[in-house]
Amino acid sequence: MTFFHPVTELSLSHLPSGTVSMLGVNHSAVPEFVLIGFSTFPQLQLMFFLLFLLMYLFTLLGNLLIMATIWSERSLHTPMYFFLCALSISEILYTFAIIPRTLADLLSTHHTIALVACASQMFFSFTFGFTHSFLLTIMGYDRYVAICHPLRYNVLMSPQGCACLVVWSWAGGSIMGMVVTTAIFNLTFCGPNEIHHFSCHVPPLLKLACGNDVPVVAKGVGLMCITALLGCCLLILLSYAFIVATILKIPSAEGRYKAFSTCASHLTVVIVHHGFASVIYLKPKGPQSLEGDTLFGITYTVLTPFLSPIIFSLRNKELKNAMNKTFLSKLSPDKL
């Protein structure tokens, strides 16, 4: 796949026809869509391109650096960092499903995207996005077991158990992506074909669909996404409620600080991730501008993945020290 070409949305045109049919892509009257995206900001497109390119490269490098550090430092071969490594992989794949296509559109006047390519982008973005949410939930459970049940930690978070949790997260994300994409692209798109967004996002696509089943599909998809999002939030809040109750029972202030410091980076990423996701999925419907929808989309698609490796690198002292030891010390051997 080339970096600045429309196929970077992981087009389904290269997949077997059976795989395409599994996604439920309907043969609509509209063969392709036009992504309006940032064409409403013509004077700012070059600035957006440079900004998004830098943020995208930083996201890739940051997550790759985290993965390389965890891989090379044996002291980080623990369940918490295994989950963090899986989180970095899902983040890289999520951004790869959307941002390269957006960068290409910012430099091009040709903004069309084929129906199956649009379905492909939606499937992969929902798959990796919800996988990310499920992994954050599992990481909250990991911190709960480590702090509330330390003596049972090695049993409850065994290598086989951790691998199963990651596999179930990816399976759950894939199911969410499959269900949402199938529901949306089984609708008929009669025209117009202009998507007022920089990616194949559900709300603007629903506005282009026609038929009596559109309201039912819209409510069903919205309810499923909100339920999954709130379910993850509830489980994380429950985990941290037990964690806080346990930490408060620790007699020494140093012990309380040490226990909570292991959760700080995860909790910060959870707040950022679910905060921006709530803006996308829970914001009330109203007469707002199309430009506002596009700018809201940036927060979750570009900004959240950009902030995640920064937070984990700076807020996690153990990971930060391992990075300094593994990489920065090699760049400055005189500081050893």
Task: Give domain limits for the chain.
Answer: 32-328
Determine the pLDDT at residue 64.
94
Determine the pLDDT at residue 283.
62
Name the DSSP class of 300.
I
Task: Please give the CATH superfamily to which domain 32-328 belongs.
Answer: Rhodopsin 7-helix transmembrane proteins (1.20.1070.10)
Residue with tokens 């309810």: 223
Determine the pLDDT at residue 219.
92
How far apart CA 17 and CA 31 sit, in angstroms, is 17
pLDDT mean values, one per 10 residues, the chain (336 residues): 38 45 55 82 86 94 92 88 94 94 86 90 94 94 93 92 95 96 90 84 87 90 91 94 91 83 85 78 57 73 89 80 72 52
- Residue 182's CB: how many other CB atoms inside 10 A? 16
Determine the pLDDT at residue 9.
38
Determine the pLDDT at residue 334.
52
- Residue 327's CB: how many other CB atoms inside 10 A? 13
Determine the pLDDT at residue 328.
63
Q: Name all contacts of 36-45 with Cβ < 8 Å and 24+ positions apart.
A: 36/111, 36/194, 36/195, 36/196, 36/197, 36/290, 37/102, 37/105, 37/106, 37/111, 37/197, 37/198, 37/199, 37/294, 38/105, 38/106, 38/198, 38/294, 39/111, 40/290, 40/291, 40/294, 41/291, 45/106
